[in-house]
Amino acid sequence: MTSTKMFEQDLPTPEPETPCRPRQPYRFSTLCATVENPSQKDQFGSSSVPIYQTATFKGVGGQYDYTRSGNPTRSHLEHHLAKISSATHAFAVSSGMAALDTILRMLKPGDEVIAGDDLYGGTNRILTYLKTHGGVAVHHVDTTKPDTLLPYINPEKTAMVLLESPTNPLLKIVDLARIAADIKERAPNAVIVVDNTMMSPYLQRPLEHGADIVYDSATKYLSGHHDLMAGVITCNRDDLAKQMGFIINAAGNALTPFDCFLLLRGSKTLAIRMDRQQATSMLVAQMLDRLGFKVHYPGLAEHPNRDVHERIADGYGAVLSFTTGDKALSERIVGATRLWGISVSFGCVNSLISMPCVMSHASIDPATRAARGLPEDLIRLCVGIEDPADLLDDLERALLEAGAITLTAGGDSHQRYVRTIPSEGTAISRAVQKLAFNESVGYTTECNEDREWFVSAPGKVILFGEHAVVHGVTAVAASVDLRCYGVTTPRHDGKVSVHFIDIDSFRQEWEADELPWDAVTPVRVGDFHSDTLDHKLVDAITTRALSPEVLAKPSARQACIAFLYMYMIMAHGGNRPSFNFSARATLPVGAGLGSSASFSVCAATALLLLYSRIQLPAQPAPTTHGHVHVSHGGRRAIPPALAEEVNRWAFVSEKILHGNPSGVDNSVAVFGGALSYTRPGFGRKAGMIPIQGFKSLKFLLTDSRVPRNTKQLVAGVAATKEQEPEFVNGLLSAIQDISDEAQRALADPQLSRQTLLSALSALIDENHDHLVKLGVSHPSLESIRSKTASPPYTLSTKLTGAGGGGCAVTLIPDDLSEFNLRELMAALSGDGFVPYLTSVGGSGLGILSPYNQPQPLATPPETPHEGEAGTGAVELLRDTFAGKATADLSAWADSLGRWLFV
């Protein structure tokens, strides 16, 4: 590609010498070198624009009065920049980020921005700030695929679309013209903004392709010497120019006169510099490609969307990047260069080398970088104007010194350099997938989808504070050693299906592509789900994805909605996994022991793994001569960041299942143990506090087998509170006192065992009495309570969970004989109840480790139809999982290999 095409514009050029031979419009390099502003002729005829180094101008009513508002040197510069950018308006500000800040200040709370997922680190940083503090929603999408923007376009809310092409630092190509047309058709009021820093006006002028605003970090190519900081904004719309002009004047970030002079001088050589820089860049890219490195450069024949780039740009630019397969190797290469300066930025006459993930893009957290496909081992080269032979020689020597290449004899007996590490796809996949978890080795999305995942989560018992927790009272809860389990199995047929074994062995499947994707506003990797559900998506799933038969089964219906909601809203990069999700529990379903929360945790974890939104940590180093590895049986193997991400999504599922959950159930199911939980928004310090001392206590859980409606019970208490606020608030205050007393008792190491048990028994009775007054008990629960309180047992029992049926929890003291305990359990069973003897405070979320499993997990080319046996040599987990007796399920799961727990 060359840059000699005619530059069409109507700005003035010198008058023709004779009427018989009119002049043609000047070409770009001539426009760069020729600074002409007919409206501002210098009174002395200077050949270089003077520096008006003054803060103020004398007189009244003149064109200039204060340099913050305007300066002749800046006016000359802005006229020149508009001329070479196909623009009517141009503004020069103090930096590229100041340019972007000026543009973003036109947004208001409630607006939505669509941006690329491969952005300059500073751009990502300011967008994150705007999202967090400015009330602006930001959607990061893969802009190299124009169709991925369509689900995010909202005619009323989409205010701005922010694009880069090529992107920095992966040199992805974006079809600016097509995206601009799509946006204008669907959201006419949206402003299309393009960061053109990588190309400069010499190689690409986005205003010609439908952009409304273009900005450059003029520190780079426009200046070319890295001796000033500057940003440039260009546009053709008078309304946008008026807004930005006001902001620049009000904020005072216009470029100083001296820097305007430097930028004007640097821009004159833009064309000749870039011709040299991109010619050398092609030589560097070809050398690295020939050696076998993965090279990102639009000039290479195999570069993705190269045809798009050639349609919208006049050259390939002077930035390229490549991967080595190993972060440490990349660091050695960068450190071994001599002529290539180690520095951030680009566009200088001097060549630069850097590692974006530890330099320019370090402000993007590692998990988000990995999710967006930004390799940790990536090296970026910014080519200058040095002699190409010197640059190639210096880079070759650095590769050799670092051990990336070696000298060997070829078949023709001539020595040549060859790469010394495996090609991409082996070692490189390790570097690409490293996340924030101590540089752990992860799995690609495809790998995650092509294996079975086995997850589990415990149930919970709320000992103090149920119902009251919804209204801000502290709840005391603990995990129980009854668990829900979930298994994902690949299908490879474009369908997604569920099998809810405990809900009458309910089965349902969907064609993944036929789900209501048009109703989805995905939550991008690294972003949080909003505090409110997307009711548009919930309604679309309910009305368009669920059959009348499913809608007629309330439990299955809500579970399907929660599952599909997370499956669809987590989707990113066009990936729609085809798999089956089976779930069952050793917990009684609907008994108030958190079965829905443990289901939510299992479903959320499975989907997060399939979408590679979470990654498991690497195996710990084994015991060696110089290192001792202490085995914890998988406990605490799942890092807090992963657990917190699962908990956020499980809470989303709980909102679908219960409407207004407290958040304590899913928190216990994820983190396990025992904790106090206070819901935010009620004036008390919110959050979770771990509680010690539960593991030594035994409880009897008794399922009344009476179904209950949690939403209705919670709503009933809220209605009573509204009608009788003084009465209900008094009960809530008393329950808070109970929770506080229980926490103090459990945390006191000096309290005797007998005193602790007596105190907890009394608090249990007191708490139950208050719940009866709130109207959430049930005759079946009172019958259980009466049975356990009768001689010879005399035990304290209370309802747990929402009440209205469900479960009761009974504290088992040390002096209750084994005979009496068995007798009590038999008596309860004889009355039609189901008792469970359990300990509390055990592990939370569990994931069967993919490392060193005693039996391999199946990845067949095609999954058999539901109920059919697999044809491969390895039995699918799903088949055994569905057929195991409930009493044997936990032991079987434990026998499969090492589990990783929170």
DSSP string, 690-726: E--S-TT-EEEEEE------HHHHHHHHHHHHHHSHH
Contact, 278 vs 316, CB < 8 A? yes
Task: Please name the residue ranges forming H helices in 511-663.
Answer: 535-544, 548-551, 554-569, 595-610, 640-658
DSSP 207-256: GGGT-SEEEEETTTTTT-SSS---EEEEES-HHHHHHHHHHHHHHT-BPP
Distance CA 876, CA 888 (A): 18
Contact, 687 vs 475, CB < 8 A? no
Q: 774-803 burial, b for 16+ CB within 10 Å, e for fewer?
A: bebbbebbbbbbebbeeeebebbbbbbbbb
Q: 602-620 burial, b for 16+ CB within 10 Å, e for fewer?
A: bbbbbbbbbbbbbbbbebe
Cross-strand pairs, 700: 810, 837
Distance CA 655, CA 650 (A): 9
All residues at 6 or more sequence positions from 328 whose CB lies less than 8 Å from its CB, including other chains = none
Distance CA 679, CA 687 (A): 7
Distance CA 781, CA 793 (A): 17
Mean pLDDT of 418-432: 43
Contact, 115 vs 121, CB < 8 A? no
Q: 417 catalytic, yes or no? A: no
Which of 101, 118, 142, 195 is flagged as catalytic?
A: 195
Mean pLDDT of 839-854: 79
Phi then psi dihedrals of residue 555, to 5 deg:
-65, -45
Structure tokens at 271: 């064309």
616 pLDDT tier (thresholds 50, 70, 90): confident
CA angle 840, 843, 849 (to 5 degrees): 155
Structure tokens at 806: 């469900």
Mean pLDDT of 479-483: 89
Determine the residue type at 168. N
Q: 362-385 burial, b for 16+ CB within 10 Å, e for fewer?
A: eebebbbbbbbebbbbbbbbbbbb
45 pLDDT tier (thresholds 50, 70, 90): confident
253: region left, alpha or beta (phi > 0 left; psi from -120 to 50 alpha): alpha
Q: What is the mean pLDDT of the chain?
A: 86
Position 879 scores a pLDDT of: 85
Distance CA 401, CA 405 (A): 8
Distance CA 895, CA 887 (A): 14
Contact, 669 vs 662, CB < 8 A? no
Distance CA 415, CA 393 (A): 16
**How far from each other are the two terminal CA atoms of the chain, in whole angstroms?**
56
Question: Other C-beta atoms within 10 Å of 400: how many?
Answer: 16
Distance CA 716, CA 706 (A): 18
At residue 613, the 3 state secondary structure works out as coil
Q: Kindly tell me if the per-residue pLDDT of 16 is higher than 60.
A: no
Q: 544 catalytic, yes or no? A: no
Determine the residue type at 356. P
All residues at 6 or more sequence positions from 25 whose CB lies less than 8 Å from its CB, including other chains = 6, 7, 8, 9, 13
- What is the value of pTM for the model shown? 0.51
Query: What tens digit of pLDDT does each residue of 209-222 get?
Result: 999 999 999 999 99
Cross-strand pairs, 480: 840
Min mean pLDDT across 325-334, 373-382, 583-592 is at 583-592
Cα 635 → chain centroid? 26
Distance CA 579, CA 452 (A): 9
Residue indicated by tokens 């989805």: 520
Structure tokens at 241: 């120019």
Do you find a cis peptide bond into 169, omega within 30 degrees of 0? yes
Q: Kindly tell me if the per-residue pLDDT of 158 is higher than 50.
A: yes
Distance CA 824, CA 784 (A): 10
Phi then psi dihedrals of residue 378, to 5 deg:
-65, 135
Position 772 scores a pLDDT of: 93
Distance CA 41, CA 75 (A): 12
State percent of the chain over pLDDT 70: 87
Mean pLDDT of 692-717: 82
Q: 64 catalytic, yes or no? A: no
Question: Other C-beta atoms within 10 Å of 476: how many?
Answer: 28
Query: What tens digit of pLDDT does each residue of 806-824 get?
Result: 889 999 998 999 999 999 9
Q: 220 catalytic, yes or no? A: yes
CA angle 577, 578, 580 (to 5 degrees): 115
Position 806 scores a pLDDT of: 84
Distance CA 224, CA 267 (A): 8
All residues at 6 or more sequence positions from 868 whose CB lies less than 8 Å from its CB, including other chains = none
Position 23 scores a pLDDT of: 65
Query: What tens digit of pLDDT does each residue of 541-552 get?
Result: 999 999 999 999
Q: Kindly tell me if the per-residue pLDDT of 873 is higher than 80.
A: no
Task: Report which of residues 750 and 349 the model is more confident about.
Answer: 349
Distance CA 74, CA 610 (A): 54
Contact, 87 vs 215, CB < 8 A? no
Structure tokens at 12: 């003035």
Give the strand pairing for 158-164 and 191-195.
Answer: parallel
Structure tokens at 658: 């219960």
Determine the residue type at 753. R
Which of 26, 52, 120, 202 is flagged as catalytic?
A: 120
Structure tokens at 810: 């009974």
Position 629 scores a pLDDT of: 52
Structure tokens at 59: 């007189």
Residue indicated by tokens 């569905």: 882
Residue indicated by tokens 């065992």: 753
At residue 688, the 3 state secondary structure works out as strand
Q: Which helix (H) or strand (E) holds 786?
A: helix 779-789
At residue 798, the 3 state secondary structure works out as strand
Give the strand pairing for 352-354 and 341-342.
Answer: parallel
Q: Kindly tell me if the per-residue pLDDT of 856 is higher than 60.
A: no
Contacts of range 818-824, beta carbons closer than 8 Å, 24 or more positions apart: 820/792, 820/793, 821/700, 824/700, 824/787, 824/788, 824/793, 824/795
Give the strand pairing for 405-409 and 379-382.
Answer: unpaired
Task: Report which of residues 867 and 238 the model is more confident about.
Answer: 238
Structure tokens at 185: 């058709």
Distance CA 529, CA 642 (A): 15
Which of 74, 83, 205, 220 is flagged as catalytic?
A: 220
Q: Kindly tell me if the per-residue pLDDT of 327 is higher than 70.
A: yes
Distance CA 452, CA 492 (A): 13
Q: Which helix (H) or strand (E) holds 102?
A: helix 96-104
Task: Report which of residues 67 and 371 the model is more confident about.
Answer: 67
Cα 13 → chain centroid? 51
Mean pLDDT of 289-313: 94
Mean pLDDT of 656-663: 85
Position 435 scores a pLDDT of: 31
Cross-strand pairs, 216: 232
Determine the residue type at 192. I
Determine the residue type at 232. V
Structure tokens at 578: 């085809």
Which of 68, 306, 507, 635 is flagged as catalytic?
A: 68
- DSSP code at position 623: P
